[in-house]
Amino acid sequence: MLTENLNKNQATILEIVRMSTEDGPGIRTTVFLKGCTLKCAWCHNPESISIKPQLQWVGSRCIGCKTCLSVCKENALTLTETGMLIDRARCTGCGDCAMECPGTALELLGKIWSLDDLVEEVIKDRAYFKTSDGGITISGGEPTMQAGFAGAFLKSLRQKGLHTALDTCGQCSRDALDQTLPYAAMVLFDMKLIDPKAHKEFTGHDNKRILDNLLYVADYIRSHVYPNTLWIRTPLIPNATATPENINGIGQFIAKNLFDVVDRWELCAFNNLCRDKYLRLDQKWTFHDAQLLTKDDMDALTKTAKSSGVDRKIVFPTGSTRMESSETEEKQEIQQKVGGLNVNFCSCRPKLT
């Protein structure tokens, strides 16, 4: 069941990320709304799934003053020798403890923003958008869960001449799309799994509504001036989505139904940087021990995508891959040459010859 918030004047915002280069063209400011209609087993932003504000504790910042305990009206906090225990059944997400914490060890994830205040905040970055052909992306979670606000936000930005993008998983009502699509210059649409049973197993829902909505978005693009750009994004998750069968199936769907409207198909490599997020929310992560894909893995899946029937030029692999033993030896050799300094390496650097 979809529970979309139609309030146009305020929304629960998880985070505003500036200088992003991963959520559309150019330099962008990405606004992450809280609340998602899916519950992906690999989700890299577990704090975005619930639409309600959530409390987390960052142990490295705690000074042990116990101020938080004294201000918590619900008695939801207990500081032990091993860390802070948060009784999430009692915690109302009021944020009093986070506000009073002198070490900023307690953080409230999710803040209510008014439409005018959020617009005013993001247009501060206008200079970066102009010089890079960038803009503003609304993401989540799933932004169409707060469709009224999302549409009003995109509309206000478009009226100011800014490039806008809607990032969606597609698990939403048709009405939610109708409220947002007219004001998005482009759409970033997730295609995670082509098999409906596997999709339900890993996300909580099958993909029928998602694929129907994707076809609707494609038809909307064909018959309207805006949006005029469609990117498909597929997360490559070990033992889930990163299989030749899945990538080939998604590619065949794109080639058959979207060949004339898709500008880019991103294959987004799995990363495990979100491990601590789950720990801070007292949640277990199914993919806690999963490793990054290797470069060979990425190359093979990219080859599969390009051979699936789509225009080969639209396929773009993105993200970091696992460093192989030869690369590790190369790194150690370089560090020895520079006196043992800790050198950071970009995964896309050219090989030394």
Give per-residue pLDDT as tens, 199-232.
999 999 999 999 999 999 999 999 999 999 999 9
Q: Which domains does the chain have, with CATH numbers?
A: 10-50+114-318 (3.20.20.70), 54-109 (3.30.70.20)
Using an 8 Å Cβ cutoff, are 182 and 48 in contact? no
Give per-residue pLDDT as tens, 254-292.
999 999 999 999 999 999 999 999 999 999 999 999 999
Q: Which residue, 92, 98, 16, is CA-closest to 57?
A: 98
Q: Is 251 helix (H, G, I), strand (E, B) or coil?
A: helix
Name residue 235's beta-bridge partners: 268
What is the Cβ-side half-sphere exposure of residue 248, based on CA atoms within 13 angstroms? Answer: 7
Give CA separation, 121 vs 31, 226, 314, 352, in Å. Answer: 11, 25, 34, 44
**In this model, does residue 6 exceed pLDDT 80?**
no
Q: The pTM is what?
A: 0.88
Rounded Cα–Cα distance for residues 45 and 26 (Å): 23
